């Protein structure tokens, strides 16, 4: 399997509903809740790609470009963007759509870096062609 095939196969998509218990006083999704969801999707994509134990080591530039109101549907898409020796970068996008209308827009984008660990909790090689 090529690297591109492995990346495509590990892309992770999850849909969720934004309920009022996850919103702030503006009735939009809490930023921290969005980050938590994004980290989870990034973790799943990284694990599906590597099939190794992975841990988050950093999150880079998270852009919140559109509010995510209560009562909407969101799709989180995680995709491996870069593979190093022991680390990988996973991009996560959140798309928002109204429940009863067509169309959607990108609301949040962020990059998460993971390191793969061996059974001794030491960084381990991720990919060999």
- Tens digit of each residue's pLDDT (9 = 90 or more) over 39-50: 999 999 999 999
Q: Kindly indicate whether the domain formed by 3-117 is annotated with CATH number 3.10.129.10.
A: yes
Token code pair at residue 93: 């996008």
Cβ-based burial of 20 (10 A; exposed 0-12, middle 13-18, buried ≥19): exposed
Q: How confident is the model at residue 67 (pLDDT cuts 50, 70, 90)?
A: very high
What's the pLDDT at 129? 65
Q: What are phi and psi of 22, to 5 degrees?
A: -110, 20
Q: Name the helix (H) or strand (E) containing 92.
A: strand 87-98
What's the pLDDT at 1? 86
Q: Decide if 65 contacts 109 (C-beta within 8 A).
A: yes
pTM across the whole model: 0.95
What's the pLDDT at 127? 78
Average pLDDT of the chain, as a whole number: 96
Distances from the Cα of 82 to the Cα of 11, 14, 40, 43, 96, angstroms: 13, 21, 18, 14, 25
């Amino acid at each position: 399997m090529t690297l591109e095939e492995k990346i495509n196969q590990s892309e992770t998509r999850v849909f969720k509903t934004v309920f009022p218990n996850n919103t702030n006083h503006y009735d939009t999704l809490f930023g921290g809740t969005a980050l938590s969801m994004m980290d989870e999707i990034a973790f799943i994509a990284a694990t599906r790609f590597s099939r190794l134990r992975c841990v988050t080591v950093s999150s880079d530039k998270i852009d919140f470009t559109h509010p995510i109101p209560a009562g909407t549907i969101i799709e989180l898409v995680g995709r491996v963007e870069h593979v190093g020796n022991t680390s990988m970068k996973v991009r996560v996008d959140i798309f928002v759509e109204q429940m009863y209308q067509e169309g959607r827009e990108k609301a949040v984008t962020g990059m998460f870096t993971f390191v793969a660990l061996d059974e001794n909790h030491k960084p381990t090689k991720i990919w060999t062609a």
